[in-house]
Every structure is written in structure tokens, then in C-alpha cells.
Structure 1
Amino acid sequence: MKKKPWQKYVLVAAGVAMLSALSISEYVDHRTLRDHSNTFPMKPITLVVPYAAGGGTDITARALAKAAAKHLGQPITVVNRTGGGGSVGLMEGAEAQADGYTVTYLVAELTTLPHLGLLPLTYERFKPLLQTNMDPSAITVRADAPWKTAEAFLEDASAHPGKLKMGNAGTGSIWHLAAAMLEQKSGVRFTHIPYEGAGPAVSALMSGFVDAVPVSPAEVKTYVDQGKLRILAIQADTISEAFPSVPTLQQATGLRVHFIGTWRGLAVPKDTPDDIAGMLADALIKGTEDEEFREEMRKHGLGLRVKDAEAFARQLKESHDTFARLIPDLGLSRK
């Protein structure tokens, strides 16, 4: 049956109305997906730490989680995901749902492991929130060890290649690279013993399973203060604020070694909405300003170095590019 002219207009008008409704619906959905200011966070946040409890990363994470939770209105739960020198936790964080409920504590190993062929992703899989701190390597032995100076330690290592066991936080970890750089600069050779984080490496030193560790001052401070461990030298251009009486490696041995150590910062998966990332960054930065957090950092000898998302992004790229050159030079690349 032939449609009357007025029926055509009704159909056209109905079609336009439907399209308009769909457009409005899509617009509302689009806005809802991108405006979380009134809904986020609705549940606790998970903070993935890629190392075992007890190390500097874990200590910093727990102190910051407590401080930042005050500004989020939800608790931040720290979970330790160990394995692969940090790669297990970093991969879990990168592959988490990009909804802001999983934050990862990034460590320097994120920019070393890819060049070693031990991590199938790079910093580009994350959206940086902020950097929290930076610490140099501290060559540390037991208090009853026969070496009273870094020079004596290296002389023994030179006379007996491979004799001295150097513990580290995992193959390819920044502390492994610190020891490897020391080998390169001094011409000695250690036997490297990897552990799942600095905490276990320090425990191994305390128990006599290794002769030394090149971890951060913070990770040995408690035992140094108790007189159980001794720091021989700091691998940096300047002395450590936590141990001002400990010489730099150059002061102790004449070897010129620039800063080598760790930095730590927080990030979310790269596709996390900007407004959610901004809310997290704001709460975390306020957490770093919390006096209780800062006191915890001072107590453990952790170096406070706060950078915003933009500056932290630059740090990530610079570190990645540095180790892209350094790791092949040290003969450690497995790629």
C-alpha cells in the first residue's frame, strides 16, 4: 500500500529523534567514562611492590600508602609480588585493569631488565604519577669482617678472583649492576648471588651466606646503627646524608664512579584515564608532604626526592637510555 505524504514526514521525524537520542546517550556515556571526580575511589587501592618485604621499596611503599590514604578516603593495600628480579611485579602492574585501583611502585629495574632481555615491556607501558626518592649504592659488610676499608676489600677481591660473594636484589637488579660497575672500574671479579629483593640479600649477609652487598644505605641502616654491619663506601659523587662519615668510593679508593643507585616512583597502567591518574597523583604527593611519612624516611635513611608526573616521565626515559648504553658495555646483555 502506498504511504501517504504525511506518513513519510512522521517516519523521517522519528528517525531523527532516534539518532538524536543515540547521540545524546553516547555523549552521556562518553562523559561518564571520563569524569570520575564524584565516584573515584569507591574501593581500596592495591599498591604492587615488586620486591619482598623489608627492603627500601617496601618500607617506602608502606609509609606512603598510610599517608596518602588520608587524602583518598580509601585504604591503600601493599602487596609484594616477588620474582624475576622485580619483573613479576612490574608485569602484573602493567597488565592490571586501567581503572586506577592498581598502582605499581616502579623501581630502577624497570629500565634495566628490558636491556638484559629479562622483561618483555618498558616504562612506556605505564602512566607516571610521581617519583618519591633516590638512593645510592652502599658497599656493606658485616662488622666482624676482616676488611675495614673499601681499599682492603678490593685488594682481597683482586688477589682472589671470584672468592668474595656479593649478594644483590636479583639478576639484573640495580644492585647487581652496581657491583658489576665496581668490577669494571676496579678490575676485580666477584661471585654474584641473586636474591628476591634487597631485604633477603641483607639477611643473607647477616647470616654469613655472602660477604658483601651493594644496596642502599636505608636497607642496612638498622644493622649499621646496631653495630652488626659496616658500610665501606658509597658509590656516588657525594656522601650519604644518612651516613656523613662514610666516604665515597673515590675518596676511599681513588676510583671515579658516578652515582649508581635506585630511584622509586609510582605509576598506573598507561590507559588509565587522566582524571583518575590526577586524583591519585594529588593524594600521593600530599602523602609525601606528610610529616609522619617524612619522619619514616629519615628514620630509615631513605633519600627523599619528589618529582611530579612530567619530571618523573623524563627520569624514566633518561634512565632507560642510560642503561641501553651501559648494560652492553658491562657485557651483561642477553638480548
Structure 2
Amino acid sequence: MKKYLLGMGMIVPLMALAACGDDSSTEANGEEAAENFPDKSLEVIVPYAEGGGTDLVARAFADNLQEELGESVSVSNREGGGGAVGMQAGANSSADGHSMTLVTVELLTLPHSGLAELNYEEDFKPVALLNEDSAAITVHADSEYETIEDFIDAAESGESLQIGNSGTGAIWHLAASALEQEIEGSFNHVPFDGAAPAVNNLLGGHIDAVSVSPAEVINQVENGDLRVLAVMADERVDALPDVPTLSETGIELSIGTWRGITVPADTPDEVVDVLADAAAATAQSDDFIERIETLQLGYRYADPAGFTELMDDQDALFGELIPSLDLN
């Protein structure tokens, strides 16, 4: 299954001694910074609009983190560019641990799509992975497409289906494009600055479908306004037990998003360690897990090493997938 979720004999010793002195000074500065951290309020930058899945994760995390650190934690939405605007702002923010960014899988996909110059290794240090979600193909409750088979048949027959996503090159755009490739059909991809605006346009009847996470449509589904046709996951989603996976229809495709906390790359390691410990306690607390599950979001925690491993693996994966898709 496809899964897309740094005299010469006298000079050298002197240079070496100077280098050691610089390292010692840097380490001392890092330790001092960590000892005083945090000494003011903190901020979590969210690269998408308020109300979407990424925003909901950030707010649940911020509410619990401030109890761990003893300082207020605010959320700042800086949408635009399919997530690139907010993530670039996060990379350029103050590297003292007080400014965090909730990055998403788009940190990897946008650069491979030629839509951003972000580099996950050079721009950020990972703190904690908080969430993982699959894509859900969703239509209006009044849609003529009753099943995923109906939807696929329409695409294969040449109907110009308008499918909304959270931004060009963003994961939900890639998810729909990957499906388009698998069925050899054709979609008219309509980008928005986040999943919430895409869902609102579906509710208004302006597009035929969206590919977003289950959490971003679950309330409207439960209210009877929207209908999920299929999820792009290995297994059925707990929040939508009656909704089939694509593999159940013979399409072996699993793709989705993840969300995690990062800080700018120049943040001292000692400060990152303090923040990572607090983030671990927060992310593994009963209250945070309960809030994530209440929001119908997929829960997954990983420490900095585990988060790095995930990004390494998926960066290689998207480096192969994206060039094979027609994203124009």
C-alpha cells in the first residue's frame, strides 16, 4: 500500500583552543537560558485559519502546556500560501524557546512541490509530534454521489468534479491528486487557506467535495449536512465506523497529515530539552488526549527523536510521490 503520512604547527593548536572556547561559551549560554526558561509568555504559531484541525490541536496543546510551564501560551493564526506563510514566520521567529510553530506535513510537501523554500532540517528543531490523521473524501449530504464508487465513476467518466483542499501543494491537495492518479480520472482542484474555508464552501454548494481530515467535517456529518464517502487510511476511523477505507473499494492508497511542535533551528538545545519535557508531559496527559479524541482527531505522540525519524522517512516518501503527480 502506498503511504504518503553541520610555523603552522603553532597556529593549528591555537585555532583548536579558540574553537573549544567558543563551544564552552555557547554551552554555558544555553544552560543559562534553560535555567531561566520560560521567563515570559509563549506563543504557538499556527499556519492555517482558525477552526481547522491544526488550529484545534494547537489550542488544546497551548491550554495544557501553560499549566506545565507556569506561563501563558497564546495561539497566533498566520494563514496563507498553503501553510508556507505561517511556517516561514515560525522559522524566522525568536530562537529563545518562547516562540513555537505547530508544523504540519506541508513542511515537507510544499518544498517538493516548488511552492516554498522551507527546509525541515535547517529551519526547525522538533519538540513533539501530537497528532496524525487520514484524508476523508466528503460531499454535501444532498450530493448525487451516494458512495465512493459513484464519485469515482463520475471522475472516470470525465465529469469536472470540483474538490476543495487546504491550499495548493498542501496534504489534502496531494491526497486528492494521488486519488486522481490512481483512478486515472480528473478533478478540478480548488485551493483555500485552510480546511475550514474549504468545508464552508462545500456547505454552501460552491464545490462538489473536499479532501480534509475526519475531524474537520465530523460535526457537519453528525448534523446531517455532509457525508463522508471514504477515508484514505489502513483501517476504518473510529469516529466514522461505517465509512469504508479506499482499500475496501480496491484502491490501495493511504495518505494523511500529522502535526507537531517545533522551534527555530537556532534555539539552544538546552532550552529545547526543557520544552520537550514539558511538551511530553502535556501531550501524554489525560486531559490533552481526551480533548484530541473529543475533537475526533487522531492521537499520536513522539519525542524529538521519533518526530525527526518520521520527518526523515516522509521527506523521502514525498520526494518520490510529488514529482509523479500533476499538481498544475
TM-score, length-scaled by structure 2 = 0.90
Q: 2:289 aligns to what?
A: 294
Which runs of 5 or more structure 1 residues have no equivalent in the other structure?
1-23
Q: In structure 2, give the amino acid aligned to 1:278.
A: D
Is 1:268 paired with 2:263? Answer: yes
8 Å Cα contact 1:51/1:196 also seen in 2: yes
CA distance in 1, matches of 2:90, 2:110: 15
Query: 291-300 or 27-36, which moves further after superposition?
Result: 27-36
Is 1:319 paired with 2:314? Answer: yes
Secondary structure at the counterpart of residue 34 of structure 1: helix
8 Å Cα contact 1:166/1:212 also seen in 2: yes
Is 1:180 paired with 2:174? Answer: no
1:297-308 counterparts in 2 under 5 A?
297-308=292-303
8 Å Cα contact 2:30/2:270 also seen in 1: no
**Of residues 126, 129, 133 in structure 1, which corresponds to 2:127?**
129
Q: How far does residue 27 in structure 1 lie from its aligned partner after superposition?
A: 7.1
Tell me how many residue pairs correspond in the alignment: 306
8 Å Cα contact 2:175/2:256 also seen in 1: yes
**Of residues 223, 228, 243 in structure 2, which corresponds to 1:231?**
228
CA distance in 2, matches of 1:197, 1:103: 19
Say what the alpha-carbon RMSD is for the aligned residues: 1.7
Q: How far does residue 290 in structure 1 lie from its aligned partner after superposition?
A: 2.5
Secondary structure at the counterpart of residue 319 of structure 2: helix
Q: 1:283 aligns to what?
A: 278
CA distance in 1, matches of 2:84, 2:34: 33
Q: In structure 2, give the amino acid aligned to 1:31.
A: A
Q: How far does residue 36 in structure 1 lie from its aligned partner after superposition?
A: 2.8
CA distance in 2, matches of 1:329, 1:29: 44
Is 1:76 paired with 2:73? Answer: yes
1:112-151 counterparts in 2 under 5 A?
112-124=109-121, 125-151=123-149
Secondary structure at the counterpart of residue 247 of structure 2: helix
Q: 1:255 aligns to what?
A: 251
Q: 2:191 aligns to what?
A: 194
Secondary structure at the counterpart of residue 151 of structure 1: helix
8 Å Cα contact 1:222/1:300 also seen in 2: no
Q: How far does residue 294 in structure 1 lie from its aligned partner after superposition?
A: 1.8
Relative distance call for 1:30 and 1:290 in structure 2 (3 A) is closer
Q: In structure 1, give the amino acid aligned to 2:75.
A: V
Secondary structure at the counterpart of residue 132 of structure 2: strand
Secondary structure at the counterpart of residue 234 of structure 2: coil
Q: Deviations over 1:90-135 (max 9, x none)?
A: 1111111211111000100010000111111210111000101100
Query: In terms of Rg, which structure is larger?
Result: 1
TM-score, length-scaled by structure 1 = 0.88
Q: Deviations over 1:138-172 (max 9, x none)?
A: 100111111110001111122234x2100000000
8 Å Cα contact 1:69/1:283 also seen in 2: no
Runs of 4+ in 1 over 4 A off after TM superposition: 26-30
CA distance in 2, matches of 1:39, 1:298: 34
Is 1:45 paired with 2:42? Answer: yes
Q: 1:55 aligns to what?
A: 52
Q: In structure 2, give the amino acid aligned to 1:248.
A: T
Overall identity of the aligned pairs, in %: 45
Relative distance call for 1:286 and 1:164 in structure 2 (3 A) is same
Secondary structure at the counterpart of residue 35 of structure 2: coil
CA distance in 1, matches of 2:284, 2:51: 23
